[in-house]
Structure 1
Amino acid sequence: MNILLTGGSGLIGNELVKKLIDKGHKVRILTRDHEVNHPYYHWNKNKIDEKVFEDLDGIIHLAGAPLMKSWSTKFKKEIIDSRVETANLLLKYVKKLEVKLQFFISASGSSFYGQKFSDTIFNETANAGNDFLAEVCKLWEQAAYNFNEVNARVVCIRTPLVLAKNAESFKLMKLPTQYGLGASLGKGSQWSPWIHIDDLCEIYIKAVEDIKMEGSYNASASEQINHQDFMKKLASHLGSKIILPNIPAAFVKIGMGEKSSLILEGARLDNQKILDSGFKFKFETLDQAFEDIV
């Protein structure tokens, strides 16, 4: 298939491009950065190179400003616009050029349910939360489902923490922990849903190839684990131990501001829907994932 990919220079995009090509698909990348190793086309906030839509079968939309930057009011708007307005721009061109699009697959976040501590295991029928990240995910998915207007099959992949060797979040956890300076943040009892990058990419590929997949899916590994146990397992695989006390939530909030909710809060995700689709995780446990990436 001829597939258009946004966000192709990011962590997930880089890996997904290679796997799609290995599967025999042809990938075109929409980018503002021309330093990519695959066929690319230029776009900005208002314009897309129309050549990218020729003989196009589907779109995978991964573009979005990174969440780890400081959340100023201006940047919070960019977080939303970089996901939502870019999807709206793609739809505008699909309609204008009358592209016969088979599918539109969009990234989304496990934050859809709200960044809050809860023992509830959220499945895809649960309502959206009411904090900032939940609103981002809700608007993100609404923009994706607008592609139903052109009869495209829509899939939204609700993604938690992605574990990969090159992930910045993983590097930030790994560096102090391997020297015995790792510590749990906040209470440590907050749930930490996760997925290995290989499994995530395979879910995207299944969404491309399986015409029965439609709607929103929790892309989370089966093992449910809290933050404190997560850090202990990481330390163990690094040949270290967690010996420092938990860092109080107040200190984390001072250092990270509102985005500290990414770490201090967390709920469990039900992945039965993706399992029922026939998908099988390669990395079902955190030990398996750490064995691969540490």
Structure 2
Amino acid sequence: MKIVIAGGTGFLGESLEKYFKEKDDQVYILTRKPKRDHEVYWDARTLGEWKNTIEGTGVLINLTGKSVDCRYTDKNKKEIYTSRIESTGILQEAVDQCNMKPKVWLNASSATIYIHSETQLNTEENGTIGDDFSMNICKSWEKEFFMVNNESVRKVALRTSIVLGNNGGAFPKLRTITKLGLGGKQGRGQQKVSWIHIDDFCKAVEWVIDNENISGPVNITAPNPVSNEDLMTKMRKHLKIPFGLNAPVWQLEIASLFLNTETELLLKSRNVYPEKLTKNGFHFSYPDLDEALYNLLKN
């Protein structure tokens, strides 16, 4: 299988590349800074030689977008928005020009598209989508993606939750603060954390590719969200750290300034359920957080 991953040099892209290469698939990466033979230059805004890489590919995966782990200044907000919309738009132009179009196109989205909810479980069909900066980014991103309907190209928006893995993302930071004795609850601690083990993320992407009846938005998350307080309690248990200082909201506001991030990333309640995956027979290797943490921390 020939797979092209746009914006594939981050944590998720590198994990997918390794996963598919181990299955002897042919993987190409579109990146601004190509360093290896299978990496192809693109600027994520304009057509170029890179569009030839998409010709005849089986799978196109777009993970391009500025990280939301930053302060929401006007400049950063604009970059978060344009990096997602422009890359999706220019990929569509390239796909339109292909004689042999990709069979399936998976575009990144986020479980953040749903409202802050501590009680309501948000599924693809019944989830409530709200109206603030982060949710509007996701809505605009998906609107751009689904705007054009190429009959031969199956499109799936990956509404991905927090991905837990040792090589990037949020998990190494969680591990560090827990070891430092700062692994108490954040804020009230009742906000839900939707999460997925990196192995299940890769498996779910492969499963979506293989299942031709799956299209539209798909929640890429484990079936058992936990509260922030439960998450930190389990982190301390698995790391054998006897205590963890709680962090009230005012402390998080100050810390987020120094860490150049936003408290929303910790305090928003993402209560998301993978209804399409579970209803259609996807099997999670790590459906429960204890199993996932044991696997990630055993080494």
- Flag whether TM exceeds 0.5 (same fold): yes
Whole-Å separation in 1 of the counterparts to 2:128 and 2:244: 39
Letter in 2 for 1:21: K
Q: Is the 8 A contact 2:118 2:190 kept in 1?
A: no
1:279 is aligned, of 282, 285, 292, to 282
Q: Percent of aligned pairs with the same residue?
A: 29
1:106 aligns with 2:110: no
Whole-Å separation in 2 of the counterparts to 1:51 and 1:226: 46
Q: Which residue pairs with 1:268 in the alignment?
A: 271
Q: Is the 8 A contact 2:104 2:154 kept in 1?
A: yes
Following TM superposition, by how much is the alpha carbon of 1:147 offset from its aligned partner in structure 2, in angstroms? 4.5
Q: The residue matched to 1:3 in structure 2 has which SS?
A: strand
Moved over 6 A (4+): none
| Matched ranges for 1:86-105 at <5 A | 86-105=87-106
Q: Aligned-pair RMSD on alpha carbons?
A: 1.8
Of the structure 1 ranges 233-242 and 143-152, higher mean CA displacement relative to structure 2 is found in: 143-152
Q: The residue matched to 1:80 in structure 2 has which SS?
A: helix
Letter in 2 for 1:16: L
Aligned length: 291
Letter in 1 for 2:39: Y
Letter in 2 for 1:89: I
Whole-Å separation in 2 of the counterparts to 1:225 and 1:130: 24
Of the structure 1 ranges 180-189 and 282-291, higher mean CA displacement relative to structure 2 is found in: 180-189
Following TM superposition, by how much is the alpha carbon of 1:197 offset from its aligned partner in structure 2, in angstroms? 0.6
Whole-Å separation in 2 of the counterparts to 1:81 and 1:89: 12
Following TM superposition, by how much is the alpha carbon of 1:150 offset from its aligned partner in structure 2, in angstroms? 5.2
Following TM superposition, by how much is the alpha carbon of 1:178 offset from its aligned partner in structure 2, in angstroms? 1.5
Q: Which residue pairs with 1:124 in the alignment?
A: 124
CA deviations on 1:195-222 (whole Å, 9 max, x unpaired) are 0011001111111122111111111112
CA deviations on 1:52-85 (whole Å, 9 max, x unpaired) are 1232223111111111122211111111111121
Q: Which residue pairs with 2:242 in the alignment?
A: 241
Of the structure 1 ranges 229-238 and 143-152, higher mean CA displacement relative to structure 2 is found in: 143-152
| Matched ranges for 1:162-201 at <5 A | 162-201=163-202
Following TM superposition, by how much is the alpha carbon of 1:168 offset from its aligned partner in structure 2, in angstroms? 4.1
CA deviations on 1:21-78 (whole Å, 9 max, x unpaired) are 2233221110111134x51211112233232123222311111111112221111111
Q: Is the 8 A contact 2:124 2:275 kept in 1?
A: no
Gaps of 5+ in 2: none
Q: Is the 8 A contact 2:185 2:229 kept in 1?
A: yes
Q: Which residue pairs with 1:64 in the alignment?
A: 65
Whole-Å separation in 2 of the counterparts to 1:201 and 1:147: 26
Letter in 2 for 1:288: E
Q: Which residue pairs with 2:145 in the alignment?
A: 144
Q: Is the 8 A contact 1:110 1:218 kept in 2?
A: yes
Letter in 2 for 1:14: E
Q: Which residue pairs with 1:42 in the alignment?
A: 41
Whole-Å separation in 1 of the counterparts to 2:270 and 2:46: 37
TM-score by length of 1: 0.93
Following TM superposition, by how much is the alpha carbon of 1:279 offset from its aligned partner in structure 2, in angstroms? 0.7
TM-score by length of 2: 0.91
Letter in 1 for 2:72: W
Gaps of 5+ in 1: none
Letter in 1 for 2:211: D
Q: Which residue pairs with 2:76 in the alignment?
A: 75
Letter in 2 for 1:139: S
Letter in 1 for 2:124: E
Q: The residue matched to 1:201 in structure 2 has which SS?
A: helix
